[in-house]
Structure 1
Amino acid sequence: MSEGIAQSSLGIVMLRWIGRILLLGLISFLGLSYWKLEQIRQPIELKEIPRWQVRELDTEQWEIQSISDPERKTIAWFRGNPRGLSCDTSILLTGVKQGKNLLDGSAVLNDPANTVAMEHPIREYVSKQVWLSYGVAEWWNVGELIRLEMLHTLGALQALLRHTNGSLDGDARFTEQVVLAGGSFGAPFTATLASLENENVSGLLLIYAFTDFEGLFNREFVRQGRIHYKMPSEPEGLVAWSKDLGLRALAGSLAWFLSTLLEYGEMEAYLPNIQNTPIHFINGRDDRLAPQSSYGLLWNAAPEPKSELWLPGDHINPGDPVALLQVSEYMYEWGKAQGLRDCEEFDSQ
């Protein structure tokens, strides 16, 4: 009997040690996770941005490539610069599904100045195939991987900025006046670079820009979940109400996690650092991605001089040529009024 008691006591001691080891492991995991999260969420600094370079393939298409990781590359489309003129430049970075179509839509405008539209480098990264290929190591470092994608996108945008700024590149085709124009998902990148390269940016256009990532993700997760599971927006009955509650709880948790990972991408951290640079907002009155409460955070963070224009409707549709032309016209009018869409003669010989 004493032997049984001894074995029982030994078992209890072992269970206690296993419990302590598991508790220590959990505390270590949570501590390391918190430390990683704190490192990831810090605002981006200029020294972090990797270098990219621009190569002009022809008169209309350019290739932008990472120097440290040559597999990373994207393209940009160039229009403007009549022979013998030195012109101001606008660089466009729009949403993942936009790019050249916005440039094509503005071709009818009588605008001789330079315009460059860059295809979003992150478009390949957001594909489902990339995420499905992740293993345990990639998911553990997903925060760092997402931040790296933003840094490389900033690197491509920075290369374009320095290539088209005549005071930096010495190319007589370009003046020293460059406007960064970010639309939708492109807006956080242009706002960030305008803050970090403030002395080299003459104007900032933020078109259908959004922030408050937690609110944005939460609204979209709930909306998409209701569509996918064919759930009504106003549930009736205990079962439907319980399902809707579960969906909203899951959406809220995922939204908090992702928004915490992406906190460094929210424009409020960068807009206050932009000085002596006009900022212009173009917004949709019924934009589901950027409700007026969310937009107010951007407006309050932006320093003077700043201005805004409200257009009817929801978030811009990249497949609507009429809407794209309208936005292009407003962009041109603002740039012209600011003296940022001008050309002057130079000796091309």
Structure 2
Amino acid sequence: MSNLDREAVPSLCGGRGFVVAEPVRELLSPRTVKLGESTEVRRLLPNLGRRMVGAWCFVDHYGPDDIADEPGMQVPPHPHMGLQTVSWLHEGEVLHNDSTGSTQIIRPRQLGLMTSGRAISHSEQSPRSHARLLHGAQLWVALPDADRHTDPRFEFHGDLPRVTAPGLDATVLLGSLDSAASPGTTFTPIVGADLSLSEGADLNLPLDPDFEYAVLAMSGEARVDGVPVLPGSMLYLGCGRRELPLSAPSDAGLMLLGGEPFEEELLMWWNFIGRSQEEIEQAREDWMTGSRFGEVKGYDGAALPAPELPAVPLKPRGRVR
């Protein structure tokens, strides 16, 4: 999924200087962003207060939206560089097409994982005949310097490992949780898990104390370490936790995101992650001139133009403001 802001704001992310090395409860509020023709999303990362959680650097939550009489998601072909995209649905379906030739319909609890590497482009849209509701999250994972020029590729995993306990059914998207490990390719120590809590659930989820964590609320009512979280909000939890208390007065859906703090500083602008202004400028030029990022076939419409770069040099902002 693309960052469709017409005035993209650059951010310097990463580095351990602002990682909270102890458990905290920092509630992050979203900002609303228009995505494509008819989809509105709640953007949690990058946030005014925090820009990364491990290697997770971008989080959008959308829906549930009634699209029975609407085209639904319609995101034109657009580029990516230096990152992975993670498509995750609770309801509905999304058709993915990319410049490697991959075409895939992604449905709830199935993993669509695209590694951009040096350059890729893709489109995302609701199929012509689609379900009434659309609800999900789109996330980016920053690639470390050693792997950010890798060949682009797309992975689809329709059957993912699960962890169950009284009141909990967890699906592991990336990394590992308890004894379950995702088949999705990762480049840094990371975890992503979808947590379904049933009404009355009260449990402690095992965590890695070397990871920093956040929990995205998808649906229902839940308490995370005693803090009420509402759908479309995210609770940053810091590091140093061996377990996470979870409870739910009603059925609820959460996403657990975590990983080792990302050591490298990186520059994120629009849909590109690089290390310098020159890299970002070159990527924009390559996209606008039709080189390097390839062609997306199967989308009926024009590709998305890149916004203008700021008139001033791209300015570092750090993990937090």
Which structure has the larger Rg? 1
The TM-score range, normalised by the shorter chain, is: under 0.3
Q: Which has the higher contact order (CA 8 A, sep 6+)?
A: 2
**TM-score between both structures, scaled by the size of structure 1:** 0.23
Higher strand share: 2
